[in-house]
Amino acid sequence: MSGAQARVPDGSLPAWQNYVPDMRADEDILSGGYGVFHISEVTKRRLDSSFTPSSFQLDVILNNEGELHPRWCFLTYPCRHVDDRTATFRVIGTSQTPGWRKYHLLPDEDSPPRILWAFYYLLERFLEVGPLAEHRVTRPGPRTEDMPFTINRLTLDFVSPANKEMLAPADLSFCGAFNLLMRPQWWADLISEYVGCLLGMSISMAPYGKVLYEYVGSIRTCVDGKLMKSYRIDYRLKDLNYEGLEEDYRRYWDFRRWKEKVYQMRQEAGLPVIL
């Protein structure tokens, strides 16, 4: 049960607004999905009528530090409001050179590391089509229309390989051991840092971070099943305010109205809120 492949974009990324999903979406891969399309059609008909708590598990291979290859490994009763979704990330292969690793994993001016776009696309695609094998219309920038899927608890678990001798020593920087596998702790720290940046909702982060507030209850990052960082988005939403935001920010976005809408969306989807 394969999902869509996500890979890092090519070229310079001067800002967060340079998120271009179709640079990561191989249409041949997107068409794979379950492999049997009538399963997708049956599932789609059942989605809206299901209120049973659900648990989805996704196995993701981080291939050569440049691509994510997801595969569904467990699905309970299909529904649009997922109670638990766990994504397990396993590293296979390394970058070819130190320069290639830096290209993928270091920030590019005002843009986050290129590999972060692959993680973001994976989440965005699930919120749009869930576990279904469907094509999506791609275009530059974040999605602006309402998404049909929500996740109450999202867990990102970065696991060690069976042979831990393949891992880089903990006392080295990730750029200093390019021929060894990156430690899962490094990946967990990287993802946690940028989840926090998205939730900060700065003028450049807001178009992407708002998706988390609208459709996700909480996010946890783990290493080998051990909790490393937890984001309770209902608490973050309660404390999120528009005081001190730049004039440009206020001019193109009605923050107060958006926050009221998010409270309503979360309540209707059964996501936690603090009133």
**pLDDT tens for residues 172-195?**
776 667 678 888 998 999 999 999
Query: Which pLDDT score, from 0 to 100, does residue 265 have?
Result: 95
Query: Which pLDDT score, from 0 to 100, does residue 125 have?
Result: 86
DSSP string, 6-67: EEPPPS---SGGG--GGGT--HHHHTTTTS-HHHHHHHHHHHTT--S--EEEEEEEEETTTE
Query: Which pLDDT score, from 0 to 100, does residue 136 have?
Result: 61
pTM of the full structure: 0.79
From CA 272, how far away is CA 275, in angstroms rounded? 10
The residue ranges of every structural domain in the chain are 6-233
From CA 133, how far away is CA 252, in angstroms rounded? 35
In this predicted model, what pLDDT tens digit does every residue of 106-118 receive, in sequence order? Answer: 787 777 888 888 8
Sign of the torsion angle spanned by Cα atoms 95, 96, 102, 108:
negative
Query: Which pLDDT score, from 0 to 100, does residue 237 have?
Result: 96
- Highest-scoring range by mean pLDDT, 98-102, 122-126, 156-160, 249-253: 156-160
